[in-house]
Structure 1
Amino acid sequence: MMKLTHLQHNEIDKPLWEKSILNAVNGNLYAFAWYLDIVSPNWEALVSNHYEIVIPLPIKKIVGTKMIIQPLFAQQLGIFSTNVKHLSNAEDFIKQVVDLYPYCNLQTNKLNLIESSAGNNFNVHYKINYELDLIATYSYIYNKYHTNTKRNLAKSQQYNLQLKINTIDAPTLVNFIRKNVGVKVPLLKDKDYNKMLQIINNAIKYKFGEIYEVYDEKNQLIAATFFIFSHRKAYYLFAASTPIGKEKRAMFFLIDQFIKRYAEKNVILDFEGSMIPGLARYYESFGAVAGKYQQIVANRLPFYLHWLKF
């Protein structure tokens, strides 16, 4: 078994890390150092020589104890490598991760699948993600839409909806999301909206993010989505609709417009989930295909900390 080196945050070579994630066979948005610095500021890492293998460790300190806890806005982390042969050793590397701290709740990526947790000191749970490959023609993709989605698109066309791209700034988008999603997702706190703002600002600044906006006939913003591009993927990262937007099927219109724009391009639309049946059906209704990834959980906390909720 290859022994990886554990690095504290200030020991990580960020330029070398970014190069590794950029060139990894399974690299993704969430594993970039700039992204981790936002969603998990004290992250640590396991690395091999020359960073051919890297594993980001999202660290959170609770009641004085360091724990590995999957951060918000980062669906899949795990093991990344520039050499695919190393990914066949996922189980060995995960053992090294869970041995570091008394609690681990880490979501890995689809090339880190472990067949069984039998005999290990961690449990494995499966999660589902939905992706839609846009390499085909728009007409081909549209024909794969479910009947209900086609019906909702037809309804949206009755309202003279207008699509705009990047005409609002990041604070306006975050405020729109907060106003229309915040009540339904109370776990999002001020610090989380601040992280959202940092992610959007960074992506817009360096031109790998797009804000899609839908306006009604009164020129009122009724739906908005932030897409961020990385590793041939467009991540459907943040989205919200007003009650009027839902009534007018504005999000169906928005996603369809995005698909129309990027059809026949080497891009995969990553819907980021979901384990919620209603959302899963929604993503499937555009022809998105389900794929598995895993959640690794290990709990060796002393009994007096078992009351903690993560």
Structure 2
Amino acid sequence: MQLKITERKDLDVEKWDALVSRTGTTAIFSYSFYLDAVAENWCVITNDDYTVGLALPYTVRARRKILYTPIFVSYLELMGKVDNELLQTVILKFFKTVEIELRSAVLGAPQEMFVTQLLNPEKKRKGQVNRMLNKAKRANLEVVMTDDWQKVFGVVSSELKGKFSGMTEISLQRLKKAYSNAHDQKRLKTFEVQLENECVGGIVCIEANGQLLYSKGACIAEARDNGGMYAAIDAAIGYANEQNLVFDFGGSRVEGVRRFNYAFGGEDIEYASYRIDRSPRWFRWVRRLKKRWGKKS
């Protein structure tokens, strides 16, 4: 099988998205409209007839391309069947620095394994969930599905900006673009938390390939303390069940968020993290120096 690297500008988008769409439960992260929003640059590795593919987002530093996982992407997925050694050879010929997460270990032994959580509907919820849902009812919080995602995004943006790693104005604008693209594709599902018909928060999900991915969410402090996020997640899970969708919590390396997901019945699935550096010594030295100065500033 012949594999080649195809840059975004040369990509047959219709064929690429058709590959993503027909490949089982491939997550939203590989669709062109999503990568166009969140990735600095991206290309794909594929064959002539687009029966095999892997999206490859990259950034450029000192004129060198670095394969990376953009913020708001958990992992990338190989679609179709291909020899892993061939895949690794082609990728490492094109990228000398690899800092990427992949759904399966197709580039050899990973440096680390991460987890995300999918809902196991047969798993019993923890008592904390029902207590917080009852608290939300007593506080008169209501959750409604809405097409006005920008209202909820406004709360999410103001609550998260600067409070978590990577949540900068630039990254939030990328996320907003991703939501706008997903809305145009009729894939965006927004659950708004209301108090007396006023928006006090909510969550934004994206539907694709039989899955409903929880992307981001937040509530103002009072609504959050009264169980607003619990109510919003509960509503999204209810929608997923009605539509026969698998609910994807999106995962987190923050222990408190993972406990929240587990309480609803989340179950871990693993994915691989790669850190491969075959770049010139001078480039590695410059990057180490920049990271060191970045920590001091």
After TM superposition, is the score higher than 0.5?
Answer: yes
Contact preservation (8 Å) 1:225, 1:240: yes
Aligned length: 288
**Whole-Å separation in 1 of the counterparts to 2:272 and 2:165:** 25
Q: Matches of 1:10 and 1:115 in 2, distance apart?
A: 26
**Segments ≥4 residues shifted beyond 4 Å:** none
What amino acid sits opposite 1:4 in the alignment? Answer: L
Asked if residue 107 in structure 1 is aligned to residue 86 in structure 2, the reply is no
Cα distance, 1:114–1:32 mapped onto 2, change above 3 Å: closer
The 2-side partners of 1:133 and 1:227 are apart by 18
- Contact 1:43 1:56 survives alignment (8 Å): yes
SS at match of 1:79: coil
Q: Aligned residue for 1:150?
A: 130
Match of 2:47 in 1: 48
Cα contact 2:75–2:101 (8 A) shared by 1: yes
- The AA in structure 1 aligned to 2:260 is Y
User: Cα distance 1:113–1:64, how it changes in 2: closer, same or farther (>3 A)?
Assistant: closer
2:141 touches 2:223 (CA, 8 Å); kept in 1? Answer: no
Q: Residue by residue, what CA displacement relative to the aligned partner does 1:175-220 show, whole Å, maximum 9, x if unpaired?
A: 211211113125223222222111212222332112111112x444
Gaps of 5+ in 1: 118-122, 135-139
User: What is the alpha-carbon distance in structure 1 between the residues aligned to residue 231 and residue 25 of structure 2?
Assistant: 31
Aligned equivalents of 2:88, 2:202: Cα separation in 1: 38
Q: Secondary structure at the match of 2:45?
A: strand
Identity of matched residues, %: 18
Match of 1:137 in 2: none
* SS of equivalent to 2:87: helix
> 1:120 matched to which residue of 2?
none
1:275 aligns to 2:262 (yes or no)? no
Residue 240 of structure 1 corresponds to 218
Q: Which residue does the alignment assign to 1:285?
A: 263
TM-score, L = length of structure 2: 0.88
Unpaired segments ≥5 residues, structure 2: none
In the other structure, the counterpart of 1:36 is: 35
Using a 3 Å threshold, how does the CA distance of structure 1 residues 226 and 70 change in structure 2: closer, same or farther? same
Structure-1 separation of matches of 2:120 and 2:283: 44
Per the alignment, do residues 244 and 95 of structure 1 end up closer, same or farther by CA in structure 2, a change over 3 Å counting? farther
Q: TM-score, normalised by structure 1?
A: 0.85
Structure 1's 242 and 292: CA in aligned 2 closer, same or farther, altered over 3 A? same
**Alignment counterpart, residue 262 of structure 1, candidates 232, 240, 244:** 240
CA contact (8 A) 2:155 2:200 kept: no
Is 1:231 paired with 2:209? yes
Q: 1:266 to 1:167 in 2, by over 3 A?
A: closer
Cα deviations by residue, 1:50-85 (Å, 9 ceiling, x for unpaired): 01111111011112211111111111213112xxxx
Partner residue in 2 for 1:129: 116
1:229 counterpart letter in structure 2: E
Deviations along 1:68-117, one digit per CA (max 9) or x if unpaired, are 11111111213112xxxx16x345423432332221111111xx235962
Task: Give the match for residue 208 of structure 1.
Answer: 187
